[in-house]
Structure 1
Amino acid sequence: MYLADEAWPDLESYFESESLALVPLGSTEQHGPHLPEGTDHIIAESFARAAAEETGYLCTPTVNIGVSSHHRQFHGTMWADAPAFRDYVESVTRNLASHGIDRVVYVNAHGGNVEHLREVGRRLRDDGTMYAIEWMWDESITERIEELFETPGPHGGPKETALIQHLAPELVHEDRIADARDGGLAEFDESTGRVHGARTFYDAIDTTDNGVFGDQTDASADAGAELFTAALDHLCRLCDWLDDQRFDDLLPKGHV
Protein backbone atom coordinates (compact mmCIF):
# COMPACT_ATOMS: atom_id res chain seq x y z
CA MET A 1 0.00 0.00 0.00
CA TYR A 2 1.35 3.41 -0.99
CA LEU A 3 0.16 6.04 1.47
CA ALA A 4 0.01 8.96 -0.97
CA ASP A 5 -2.34 7.11 -3.32
CA GLU A 6 -4.95 6.40 -0.65
CA ALA A 7 -7.85 8.51 0.62
CA TRP A 8 -7.73 8.98 4.38
CA PRO A 9 -10.83 6.90 5.21
CA ASP A 10 -9.29 3.96 3.35
CA LEU A 11 -6.17 4.05 5.52
CA GLU A 12 -8.11 3.54 8.74
CA SER A 13 -8.18 -0.23 8.49
CA TYR A 14 -4.41 -0.37 7.97
CA PHE A 15 -3.66 1.67 11.06
CA GLU A 16 -6.14 -0.42 13.06
CA SER A 17 -4.43 -3.69 12.17
CA GLU A 18 -0.79 -2.85 11.37
CA SER A 19 1.95 -0.86 13.08
CA LEU A 20 4.83 -0.93 10.56
CA ALA A 21 5.74 1.50 7.78
CA LEU A 22 8.51 1.70 5.19
CA VAL A 23 10.04 5.15 4.64
CA PRO A 24 12.27 5.40 1.54
CA LEU A 25 15.13 7.90 1.56
CA GLY A 26 17.76 8.78 -1.00
CA SER A 27 19.46 11.84 -2.42
CA THR A 28 19.57 14.17 -5.39
CA GLU A 29 23.24 14.36 -6.24
CA GLN A 30 25.76 13.70 -8.97
CA HIS A 31 26.32 10.08 -9.88
CA GLY A 32 28.92 10.61 -12.58
CA PRO A 33 28.42 11.43 -16.25
CA HIS A 34 26.27 8.37 -16.95
CA LEU A 35 23.65 8.18 -14.19
CA PRO A 36 20.81 10.52 -13.17
CA GLU A 37 21.07 12.70 -10.08
CA GLY A 38 18.03 10.88 -8.75
CA THR A 39 19.84 7.53 -8.67
CA ASP A 40 19.60 7.04 -4.91
CA HIS A 41 15.99 8.05 -4.46
CA ILE A 42 14.92 6.03 -7.50
CA ILE A 43 16.55 2.97 -5.95
CA ALA A 44 15.15 3.59 -2.47
CA GLU A 45 11.59 4.14 -3.66
CA SER A 46 11.73 1.12 -5.96
CA PHE A 47 12.74 -1.15 -3.09
CA ALA A 48 10.22 0.31 -0.64
CA ARG A 49 7.27 0.19 -3.01
CA ALA A 50 8.11 -3.33 -4.19
CA ALA A 51 8.40 -4.52 -0.59
CA ALA A 52 5.09 -2.86 0.29
CA GLU A 53 3.41 -4.54 -2.66
CA GLU A 54 4.82 -7.93 -1.75
CA THR A 55 4.18 -7.79 2.00
CA GLY A 56 1.17 -5.50 2.33
CA TYR A 57 2.95 -3.06 4.63
CA LEU A 58 2.59 0.69 4.19
CA CYS A 59 5.06 2.70 2.09
CA THR A 60 5.31 6.47 2.58
CA PRO A 61 6.44 9.08 0.04
CA THR A 62 10.18 9.30 -0.52
CA VAL A 63 12.61 11.75 1.05
CA ASN A 64 14.46 12.74 -2.13
CA ILE A 65 17.14 15.07 -0.77
CA GLY A 66 19.68 13.84 1.75
CA VAL A 67 23.02 14.73 3.33
CA SER A 68 25.08 15.27 0.18
CA SER A 69 27.25 18.35 0.64
CA HIS A 70 30.30 16.22 -0.18
CA HIS A 71 29.10 16.21 -3.80
CA ARG A 72 28.41 19.95 -3.97
CA GLN A 73 31.12 20.77 -6.54
CA PHE A 74 29.16 18.92 -9.25
CA HIS A 75 26.33 20.68 -11.07
CA GLY A 76 22.83 20.15 -9.72
CA THR A 77 23.64 18.37 -6.47
CA MET A 78 21.18 19.30 -3.73
CA TRP A 79 21.63 18.66 -0.04
CA ALA A 80 20.25 19.27 3.42
CA ASP A 81 22.55 20.20 6.26
CA ALA A 82 22.85 17.26 8.62
CA PRO A 83 20.98 18.77 11.61
CA ALA A 84 18.11 19.91 9.37
CA PHE A 85 17.92 16.46 7.75
CA ARG A 86 17.81 14.69 11.10
CA ASP A 87 15.13 17.02 12.45
CA TYR A 88 13.02 16.70 9.31
CA VAL A 89 13.18 12.91 9.23
CA GLU A 90 12.44 12.72 12.94
CA SER A 91 9.44 15.02 12.50
CA VAL A 92 7.87 13.08 9.62
CA THR A 93 8.50 9.81 11.44
CA ARG A 94 6.73 11.13 14.54
CA ASN A 95 3.80 11.95 12.24
CA LEU A 96 3.44 8.22 11.65
CA ALA A 97 3.48 7.54 15.37
CA SER A 98 0.44 9.77 15.76
CA HIS A 99 -1.48 7.30 13.56
CA GLY A 100 -0.35 4.26 15.53
CA ILE A 101 2.85 3.25 13.75
CA ASP A 102 5.43 2.07 16.29
CA ARG A 103 8.07 0.55 14.01
CA VAL A 104 9.65 1.92 10.84
CA VAL A 105 12.14 0.65 8.29
CA TYR A 106 14.14 3.47 6.72
CA VAL A 107 14.71 2.09 3.22
CA ASN A 108 17.87 4.02 2.47
CA ALA A 109 19.99 4.15 -0.69
CA HIS A 110 22.45 6.94 0.16
CA GLY A 111 25.52 6.34 2.30
CA GLY A 112 25.58 9.95 3.48
CA ASN A 113 22.26 9.40 5.27
CA VAL A 114 23.27 6.36 7.29
CA GLU A 115 24.71 7.85 10.47
CA HIS A 116 21.94 10.45 10.63
CA LEU A 117 19.17 7.88 10.29
CA ARG A 118 20.81 5.86 13.05
CA GLU A 119 20.79 8.95 15.25
CA VAL A 120 17.10 9.62 14.54
CA GLY A 121 16.31 6.00 15.30
CA ARG A 122 18.11 6.29 18.61
CA ARG A 123 16.15 9.43 19.56
CA LEU A 124 12.83 7.79 18.79
CA ARG A 125 13.73 4.60 20.62
CA ASP A 126 15.17 6.32 23.67
CA ASP A 127 11.97 8.27 24.32
CA GLY A 128 9.78 5.21 23.72
CA THR A 129 8.03 6.59 20.63
CA MET A 130 8.91 3.80 18.20
CA TYR A 131 11.63 1.54 16.87
CA ALA A 132 13.06 2.83 13.59
CA ILE A 133 15.86 0.95 11.84
CA GLU A 134 17.97 1.88 8.81
CA TRP A 135 18.31 -0.62 5.93
CA MET A 136 20.81 -0.10 3.11
CA TRP A 137 20.21 -2.32 0.11
CA ASP A 138 23.82 -3.09 -0.78
CA GLU A 139 24.75 -3.98 2.79
CA SER A 140 22.25 -6.83 2.70
CA ILE A 141 23.94 -8.59 -0.24
CA THR A 142 27.64 -7.71 0.03
CA GLU A 143 28.84 -11.17 -0.96
CA ARG A 144 26.71 -11.26 -4.11
CA ILE A 145 27.96 -7.81 -5.15
CA GLU A 146 31.57 -8.91 -4.71
CA GLU A 147 30.89 -11.99 -6.82
CA LEU A 148 29.41 -9.93 -9.66
CA PHE A 149 31.85 -7.01 -9.76
CA GLU A 150 35.60 -6.87 -9.38
CA THR A 151 35.47 -3.20 -8.28
CA PRO A 152 31.89 -2.43 -7.10
CA GLY A 153 32.67 1.17 -6.12
CA PRO A 154 31.03 2.99 -3.19
CA HIS A 155 29.41 5.64 -5.42
CA GLY A 156 28.23 5.61 -9.03
CA GLY A 157 29.95 2.27 -9.60
CA PRO A 158 28.71 -0.87 -11.33
CA LYS A 159 26.27 -1.89 -8.58
CA GLU A 160 24.30 1.38 -8.80
CA THR A 161 24.72 1.49 -12.57
CA ALA A 162 23.29 -2.02 -12.89
CA LEU A 163 20.30 -1.19 -10.69
CA ILE A 164 19.40 1.90 -12.73
CA GLN A 165 19.89 -0.05 -15.96
CA HIS A 166 17.28 -2.42 -14.55
CA LEU A 167 14.91 0.10 -12.93
CA ALA A 168 15.13 3.12 -15.25
CA PRO A 169 17.19 2.25 -18.34
CA GLU A 170 15.99 5.33 -20.20
CA LEU A 171 17.92 7.50 -17.70
CA VAL A 172 21.29 5.79 -18.22
CA HIS A 173 23.75 7.35 -20.69
CA GLU A 174 25.14 4.08 -22.00
CA ASP A 175 27.55 5.93 -24.31
CA ARG A 176 29.26 7.50 -21.29
CA ILE A 177 29.84 4.39 -19.20
CA ALA A 178 33.43 3.87 -20.36
CA ASP A 179 34.08 7.59 -19.74
CA ALA A 180 32.71 7.18 -16.21
CA ARG A 181 35.28 4.48 -15.54
CA ASP A 182 38.18 6.24 -17.25
CA GLY A 183 37.50 9.67 -15.71
CA GLY A 184 36.78 8.41 -12.23
CA LEU A 185 38.66 6.29 -9.74
CA ALA A 186 38.39 2.72 -10.94
CA GLU A 187 40.91 1.18 -8.58
CA PHE A 188 41.01 1.95 -4.86
CA ASP A 189 41.46 0.26 -1.52
CA GLU A 190 41.37 1.11 2.19
CA SER A 191 44.50 3.25 1.85
CA THR A 192 43.03 5.58 -0.79
CA GLY A 193 42.93 9.14 0.50
CA ARG A 194 44.59 8.24 3.81
CA VAL A 195 47.89 9.54 5.13
CA HIS A 196 49.46 7.97 8.21
CA GLY A 197 46.05 6.58 9.18
CA ALA A 198 44.17 9.87 8.76
CA ARG A 199 41.32 10.30 6.29
CA THR A 200 42.40 13.39 4.37
CA PHE A 201 39.44 13.89 2.00
CA TYR A 202 36.11 15.56 2.69
CA ASP A 203 34.48 15.74 -0.75
CA ALA A 204 34.08 13.24 -3.58
CA ILE A 205 36.03 15.48 -5.94
CA ASP A 206 39.08 15.18 -3.68
CA THR A 207 39.58 11.61 -4.89
CA THR A 208 37.68 11.30 -8.19
CA ASP A 209 37.57 13.88 -10.98
CA ASN A 210 34.13 12.92 -12.33
CA GLY A 211 32.56 11.87 -9.05
CA VAL A 212 32.44 8.08 -9.35
CA PHE A 213 34.36 4.99 -8.29
CA GLY A 214 34.74 1.49 -9.70
CA ASP A 215 34.45 -0.06 -13.15
CA GLN A 216 31.01 0.77 -14.51
CA THR A 217 31.59 -1.30 -17.66
CA ASP A 218 30.93 -4.43 -15.57
CA ALA A 219 27.30 -3.38 -15.08
CA SER A 220 24.27 -4.74 -16.91
CA ALA A 221 20.50 -4.70 -16.56
CA ASP A 222 20.55 -8.45 -15.90
CA ALA A 223 22.97 -7.96 -13.03
CA GLY A 224 20.75 -5.17 -11.71
CA ALA A 225 17.69 -7.42 -11.79
CA GLU A 226 19.61 -10.08 -9.86
CA LEU A 227 20.73 -7.56 -7.23
CA PHE A 228 17.24 -6.11 -6.89
CA THR A 229 15.61 -9.50 -6.38
CA ALA A 230 18.20 -10.60 -3.81
CA ALA A 231 18.09 -7.38 -1.77
CA LEU A 232 14.28 -7.16 -1.94
CA ASP A 233 14.04 -10.60 -0.39
CA HIS A 234 16.13 -9.39 2.56
CA LEU A 235 14.00 -6.27 2.95
CA CYS A 236 10.75 -8.23 3.00
CA ARG A 237 12.15 -10.67 5.53
CA LEU A 238 13.38 -7.77 7.67
CA CYS A 239 9.88 -6.27 7.68
CA ASP A 240 8.32 -9.57 8.69
CA TRP A 241 10.89 -10.04 11.45
CA LEU A 242 10.29 -6.56 12.80
CA ASP A 243 6.52 -6.98 12.66
CA ASP A 244 6.82 -10.15 14.75
CA GLN A 245 8.72 -8.50 17.60
CA ARG A 246 7.06 -7.48 20.85
CA PHE A 247 7.30 -3.69 21.02
CA ASP A 248 8.60 -3.74 24.59
CA ASP A 249 11.48 -5.97 23.48
CA LEU A 250 12.55 -3.31 20.96
CA LEU A 251 12.91 -0.55 23.54
CA PRO A 252 16.12 0.19 25.49
CA LYS A 253 17.01 -2.21 28.25
CA GLY A 254 16.85 -0.97 31.81
CA HIS A 255 19.93 0.17 33.73
CA VAL A 256 21.97 -2.63 35.27
Structure 2
Amino acid sequence: MYVADQTWPELREYVAEESVALVPLGSTEQHGPHLPLATDHLIAEALAREAADRTSVLCTPTVNVGVSPHHRQFHGTMWVDAPQFRDYVESLTRNLAYHGIDRVVYVNAHGGNAQHLREVGRRLRDDGTMYAIEWMWDESIPDLVSEVFEHNGPHGGPKETAMIQHVAGHLVREDQLEAARDGGLVDLDDSENYMMHGARTFYDAVENSGNGVFGDQTDATAEKGEQLFEAATEQLVKLVEWLDASRFEDLMAPAHLDPQPGSRR
Protein backbone atom coordinates (compact mmCIF):
# COMPACT_ATOMS: atom_id res chain seq x y z
CA MET A 1 0.00 0.00 0.00
CA TYR A 2 1.54 3.28 -1.14
CA VAL A 3 1.05 5.85 1.61
CA ALA A 4 0.74 8.89 -0.66
CA ASP A 5 -2.19 7.33 -2.54
CA GLN A 6 -4.25 6.85 0.62
CA THR A 7 -6.53 9.14 2.59
CA TRP A 8 -5.86 9.70 6.28
CA PRO A 9 -8.92 7.69 7.42
CA GLU A 10 -7.69 4.75 5.32
CA LEU A 11 -4.28 4.97 6.98
CA ARG A 12 -5.94 5.08 10.40
CA GLU A 13 -7.31 1.63 9.66
CA TYR A 14 -3.84 0.39 8.68
CA VAL A 15 -1.82 1.61 11.65
CA ALA A 16 -4.37 0.17 14.04
CA GLU A 17 -3.53 -3.32 12.77
CA GLU A 18 -0.08 -3.23 11.11
CA SER A 19 3.32 -1.99 12.22
CA VAL A 20 5.64 -2.47 9.21
CA ALA A 21 6.71 0.07 6.58
CA LEU A 22 9.04 -0.03 3.58
CA VAL A 23 11.13 3.07 2.84
CA PRO A 24 12.74 2.99 -0.62
CA LEU A 25 16.01 4.89 -1.01
CA GLY A 26 18.34 5.42 -3.95
CA SER A 27 20.33 8.19 -5.54
CA THR A 28 20.40 10.63 -8.43
CA GLU A 29 23.85 10.06 -9.90
CA GLN A 30 25.70 9.13 -13.05
CA HIS A 31 25.28 5.59 -14.30
CA GLY A 32 27.30 5.86 -17.47
CA PRO A 33 26.22 6.80 -21.00
CA HIS A 34 23.50 4.16 -21.14
CA LEU A 35 21.48 4.51 -17.92
CA PRO A 36 19.56 7.45 -16.40
CA LEU A 37 20.70 9.24 -13.27
CA ALA A 38 17.49 7.92 -11.70
CA THR A 39 18.67 4.29 -11.90
CA ASP A 40 19.05 3.58 -8.18
CA HIS A 41 15.86 5.21 -6.98
CA LEU A 42 13.83 3.66 -9.80
CA ILE A 43 15.00 0.20 -8.76
CA ALA A 44 14.38 0.84 -5.06
CA GLU A 45 10.87 2.17 -5.62
CA ALA A 46 9.88 -0.64 -7.99
CA LEU A 47 11.00 -3.31 -5.53
CA ALA A 48 9.43 -1.63 -2.51
CA ARG A 49 6.10 -1.08 -4.23
CA GLU A 50 5.96 -4.64 -5.52
CA ALA A 51 6.77 -6.12 -2.10
CA ALA A 52 4.25 -3.81 -0.44
CA ASP A 53 1.56 -4.94 -2.88
CA ARG A 54 2.32 -8.60 -2.17
CA THR A 55 2.38 -8.22 1.62
CA SER A 56 -0.10 -5.34 2.13
CA VAL A 57 2.40 -3.39 4.23
CA LEU A 58 2.99 0.33 3.93
CA CYS A 59 5.36 1.84 1.35
CA THR A 60 6.50 5.46 1.73
CA PRO A 61 7.60 7.88 -0.97
CA THR A 62 11.15 7.35 -2.22
CA VAL A 63 14.25 9.20 -1.04
CA ASN A 64 15.74 10.08 -4.42
CA VAL A 65 19.03 11.75 -3.47
CA GLY A 66 21.59 9.91 -1.36
CA VAL A 67 25.25 9.94 -0.38
CA SER A 68 26.99 10.12 -3.78
CA PRO A 69 30.00 12.48 -3.62
CA HIS A 70 32.16 9.74 -5.16
CA HIS A 71 30.39 10.40 -8.48
CA ARG A 72 30.55 14.19 -8.29
CA GLN A 73 32.85 14.68 -11.30
CA PHE A 74 30.07 13.53 -13.66
CA HIS A 75 27.43 15.98 -14.88
CA GLY A 76 24.10 15.89 -13.07
CA THR A 77 25.15 13.86 -10.05
CA MET A 78 23.42 15.08 -6.89
CA TRP A 79 24.27 14.21 -3.30
CA VAL A 80 23.80 15.20 0.31
CA ASP A 81 26.55 15.02 2.90
CA ALA A 82 26.47 11.93 5.09
CA PRO A 83 25.54 13.61 8.43
CA GLN A 84 22.60 15.44 6.83
CA PHE A 85 21.46 12.27 5.08
CA ARG A 86 21.50 10.32 8.35
CA ASP A 87 19.62 13.06 10.19
CA TYR A 88 17.01 13.34 7.44
CA VAL A 89 16.35 9.60 7.29
CA GLU A 90 16.21 9.38 11.06
CA SER A 91 13.72 12.24 11.24
CA LEU A 92 11.57 10.70 8.50
CA THR A 93 11.60 7.34 10.29
CA ARG A 94 10.70 8.87 13.65
CA ASN A 95 7.72 10.40 11.87
CA LEU A 96 6.59 6.88 11.01
CA ALA A 97 7.04 5.86 14.65
CA TYR A 98 4.78 8.72 15.68
CA HIS A 99 2.05 7.15 13.54
CA GLY A 100 2.49 3.72 15.09
CA ILE A 101 5.07 2.03 12.84
CA ASP A 102 7.66 0.11 14.87
CA ARG A 103 9.43 -1.91 12.13
CA VAL A 104 10.99 -0.43 8.99
CA VAL A 105 12.90 -1.88 6.08
CA TYR A 106 15.08 0.59 4.20
CA VAL A 107 14.76 -0.77 0.65
CA ASN A 108 18.09 0.48 -0.61
CA ALA A 109 19.52 0.45 -4.14
CA HIS A 110 22.60 2.64 -3.64
CA GLY A 111 25.72 1.30 -2.00
CA GLY A 112 26.76 4.74 -0.75
CA ASN A 113 23.71 4.83 1.52
CA ALA A 114 24.24 1.46 3.19
CA GLN A 115 26.53 2.25 6.13
CA HIS A 116 24.55 5.37 6.97
CA LEU A 117 21.24 3.51 7.01
CA ARG A 118 22.81 0.97 9.36
CA GLU A 119 23.83 3.81 11.66
CA VAL A 120 20.31 5.26 11.66
CA GLY A 121 18.88 1.84 12.43
CA ARG A 122 21.23 1.51 15.40
CA ARG A 123 20.21 4.92 16.75
CA LEU A 124 16.53 4.02 16.56
CA ARG A 125 16.95 0.62 18.16
CA ASP A 126 19.30 1.85 20.90
CA ASP A 127 16.71 4.32 22.18
CA GLY A 128 13.87 1.79 21.85
CA THR A 129 11.96 3.67 19.14
CA MET A 130 11.77 0.92 16.54
CA TYR A 131 13.61 -1.77 14.62
CA ALA A 132 14.86 -0.44 11.27
CA ILE A 133 17.16 -2.40 8.95
CA GLU A 134 18.84 -1.76 5.62
CA TRP A 135 18.18 -4.17 2.73
CA MET A 136 20.20 -4.03 -0.49
CA TRP A 137 18.57 -5.80 -3.40
CA ASP A 138 21.64 -7.32 -5.07
CA GLU A 139 23.03 -8.52 -1.73
CA SER A 140 19.87 -10.58 -1.28
CA ILE A 141 20.58 -12.63 -4.43
CA PRO A 142 24.41 -12.71 -4.84
CA ASP A 143 24.57 -16.24 -6.24
CA LEU A 144 22.01 -15.48 -8.93
CA VAL A 145 23.80 -12.26 -9.95
CA SER A 146 27.10 -14.13 -10.26
CA GLU A 147 25.41 -16.91 -12.22
CA VAL A 148 23.69 -14.61 -14.70
CA PHE A 149 26.60 -12.26 -15.49
CA GLU A 150 30.25 -13.09 -16.20
CA HIS A 151 31.45 -9.50 -15.64
CA ASN A 152 28.99 -7.96 -13.25
CA GLY A 153 30.59 -4.73 -12.01
CA PRO A 154 29.58 -2.84 -8.86
CA HIS A 155 28.16 0.25 -10.57
CA GLY A 156 26.29 0.80 -13.83
CA GLY A 157 27.04 -2.80 -14.78
CA PRO A 158 24.82 -5.47 -16.30
CA LYS A 159 22.79 -6.12 -13.13
CA GLU A 160 21.60 -2.50 -12.90
CA THR A 161 21.27 -2.27 -16.66
CA ALA A 162 19.07 -5.38 -16.76
CA MET A 163 16.94 -4.13 -13.88
CA ILE A 164 16.25 -0.81 -15.63
CA GLN A 165 15.58 -2.63 -18.89
CA HIS A 166 12.88 -4.46 -16.96
CA VAL A 167 11.33 -1.69 -14.83
CA ALA A 168 11.88 1.34 -17.12
CA GLY A 169 13.16 0.06 -20.43
CA HIS A 170 12.36 3.26 -22.29
CA LEU A 171 15.08 5.04 -20.30
CA VAL A 172 17.92 2.72 -21.36
CA ARG A 173 20.09 3.99 -24.21
CA GLU A 174 20.46 0.61 -25.90
CA ASP A 175 22.78 2.06 -28.55
CA GLN A 176 25.27 3.01 -25.81
CA LEU A 177 25.79 -0.41 -24.20
CA GLU A 178 29.01 -1.12 -26.08
CA ALA A 179 30.29 2.40 -25.39
CA ALA A 180 29.54 1.90 -21.71
CA ARG A 181 31.57 -1.31 -21.67
CA ASP A 182 34.45 -0.03 -23.78
CA GLY A 183 34.76 3.33 -22.01
CA GLY A 184 34.52 1.91 -18.51
CA LEU A 185 36.24 -0.88 -16.62
CA VAL A 186 35.06 -4.41 -17.26
CA ASP A 187 37.04 -6.11 -14.47
CA LEU A 188 38.15 -4.42 -11.26
CA ASP A 189 41.23 -6.65 -11.20
CA ASP A 190 42.48 -4.67 -14.20
CA SER A 191 42.46 -1.37 -12.30
CA GLU A 192 45.75 0.16 -11.26
CA ASN A 193 44.08 2.35 -8.64
CA TYR A 194 41.73 -0.03 -6.85
CA MET A 195 44.05 -1.65 -4.32
CA MET A 196 47.67 -1.06 -3.36
CA HIS A 197 49.43 -3.03 -0.63
CA GLY A 198 46.06 -3.84 0.95
CA ALA A 199 44.71 -0.26 0.86
CA ARG A 200 42.01 1.24 -1.32
CA THR A 201 43.85 4.17 -2.82
CA PHE A 202 40.91 5.84 -4.58
CA TYR A 203 37.92 7.87 -3.41
CA ASP A 204 36.00 8.63 -6.60
CA ALA A 205 34.63 6.39 -9.36
CA VAL A 206 36.34 8.38 -12.11
CA GLU A 207 39.73 7.27 -10.76
CA ASN A 208 38.98 3.72 -11.91
CA SER A 209 36.58 4.21 -14.80
CA GLY A 210 36.66 6.93 -17.43
CA ASN A 211 32.89 6.89 -17.94
CA GLY A 212 32.04 5.94 -14.35
CA VAL A 213 30.76 2.40 -14.88
CA PHE A 214 32.03 -1.14 -14.44
CA GLY A 215 31.31 -4.54 -15.94
CA ASP A 216 30.02 -5.69 -19.32
CA GLN A 217 26.74 -3.92 -19.98
CA THR A 218 26.19 -5.75 -23.27
CA ASP A 219 25.39 -8.87 -21.22
CA ALA A 220 22.18 -7.32 -19.90
CA THR A 221 18.64 -8.02 -21.13
CA ALA A 222 15.17 -7.20 -19.89
CA GLU A 223 14.54 -10.93 -19.41
CA LYS A 224 17.52 -11.20 -17.07
CA GLY A 225 16.28 -8.08 -15.30
CA GLU A 226 12.90 -9.68 -14.75
CA GLN A 227 14.61 -12.73 -13.29
CA LEU A 228 16.62 -10.58 -10.87
CA PHE A 229 13.60 -8.47 -9.98
CA GLU A 230 11.44 -11.46 -9.16
CA ALA A 231 14.15 -13.15 -7.08
CA ALA A 232 14.94 -9.98 -5.12
CA THR A 233 11.25 -9.24 -4.53
CA GLU A 234 10.80 -12.75 -3.18
CA GLN A 235 13.63 -12.17 -0.70
CA LEU A 236 12.18 -8.83 0.37
CA VAL A 237 8.74 -10.39 0.88
CA LYS A 238 10.28 -13.08 3.07
CA LEU A 239 12.09 -10.41 5.10
CA VAL A 240 8.85 -8.49 5.61
CA GLU A 241 7.01 -11.64 6.66
CA TRP A 242 9.75 -12.49 9.18
CA LEU A 243 9.70 -8.95 10.53
CA ASP A 244 5.93 -8.87 10.81
CA ALA A 245 5.87 -12.19 12.67
CA SER A 246 8.60 -11.19 15.15
CA ARG A 247 7.83 -9.85 18.60
CA PHE A 248 8.93 -6.24 19.01
CA GLU A 249 10.70 -7.11 22.27
CA ASP A 250 12.81 -9.72 20.48
CA LEU A 251 13.96 -7.16 17.93
CA MET A 252 15.28 -4.72 20.51
CA ALA A 253 18.88 -4.66 21.74
CA PRO A 254 19.74 -7.50 24.15
CA ALA A 255 20.17 -6.56 27.79
CA HIS A 256 23.57 -6.06 29.35
CA LEU A 257 25.06 -9.30 30.65
CA ASP A 258 24.49 -10.04 34.31
CA PRO A 259 25.23 -8.63 36.73
CA GLN A 260 23.45 -5.55 35.42
CA PRO A 261 25.33 -2.25 35.84
CA GLY A 262 24.55 -0.79 39.26
CA SER A 263 22.69 -3.89 40.46
CA ARG A 264 24.86 -4.21 43.57
CA ARG A 265 24.33 -0.70 44.82
Q: TM above 0.5, one fold?
A: yes
TM-score, normalization by structure 2: 0.95
Give the deviation of 1:190 after TM superposition. 9.6
Mapping 1:159-178, distance limit 5 Å:
159-178=159-178
- Which residue is equivalent to 2:256? 255
State the one-letter code of the partner of 2:139.
E
Task: Write out per-residue CA displacement over residues 67-91 of structure 1, whole angstroms, 9 at most, x where no aligned residue.
Answer: 0000000000000100000000000
Distance 1:81 1:210 in 2: 23
- Which residue is equivalent to 2:94? 94
Task: Write out per-residue CA displacement over residues 95-141 of structure 1, whole angstroms, 9 at most, x where no aligned residue.
Answer: 00001100000000000000000000000000000000100000010
Give the deviation of 1:145 after TM superposition. 0.5
Distance 1:19 1:189 in 2: 45
The sequence identity of aligned pairs, in percent, is 69
Mapping 1:185-196, distance limit 5 Å:
185-189=185-189, 193-196=194-197
Distance 2:54 2:247 in 1: 23
Mapping 1:17-36, distance limit 5 Å:
17-36=17-36
Q: Say if 2:140 and 2:235, in contact at 8 Å, map to a contact too.
A: yes
State the one-letter code of the partner of 1:187.
D
State the one-letter code of the partner of 2:223.
D
State the one-letter code of the partner of 1:218.
D
Distance 2:236 2:253 in 1: 24
Q: Say if 2:188 and 2:194, in contact at 8 Å, map to a contact too.
A: no
Bigger Cα displacement from structure 2, 183-192 vs 219-228: 183-192
- Which residue is equivalent to 1:132? 132
Give the deviation of 1:189 after TM superposition. 3.3
Mapping 1:148-159, distance limit 5 Å:
148-159=148-159
Tell me, yes or no, if structure 1 residue 10 matches structure 2 residue 10. Answer: yes
Distance 1:98 1:41 in 2: 25
Distance 1:195 1:165 in 2: 36
Tell me, yes or no, if structure 1 residue 234 matches structure 2 residue 235. Answer: yes
CA RMSD of aligned residues (A): 1.0
State the one-letter code of the partner of 1:238.
L
SS in 1 for 2:73: coil
Mapping 1:46-125, distance limit 5 Å:
46-125=46-125
Distance 1:149 1:237 in 2: 25
Distance 2:190 2:114 in 1: 20
Distance 2:196 2:182 in 1: 25
The list of structure 1 runs, each at least 4 consecutive aligned residues, that deviate by more than 2 angstroms after superposition, is 189-192
State the one-letter code of the partner of 1:205.
V
- Which residue is equivalent to 1:142? 142
Give the deviation of 1:182 after TM superposition. 0.2
Give the deviation of 1:24 after TM superposition. 0.2
> Unpaired segments of 5 or more residues in structure 2?
258-265
> Unpaired segments of 5 or more residues in structure 1?
none
Distance 2:190 2:60 in 1: 36
State the one-letter code of the partner of 1:18.
E
Task: Write out per-residue CA displacement over residues 10-40 of structure 1, whole angstroms, 9 at most, x where no aligned residue.
Answer: 1101000000000000000000000000000
SS in 2 for 1:105: strand
Greater Rg by CA: 2
- Which residue is equivalent to 2:261? none
- Taking a change above 3 Å as real, the CA distance of residues 131 and 190 of structure 1, as seen in their structure-2 partners, is farther
Distance 1:250 1:155 in 2: 33
TM-score, normalization by structure 1: 0.99
Distance 2:62 2:251 in 1: 25
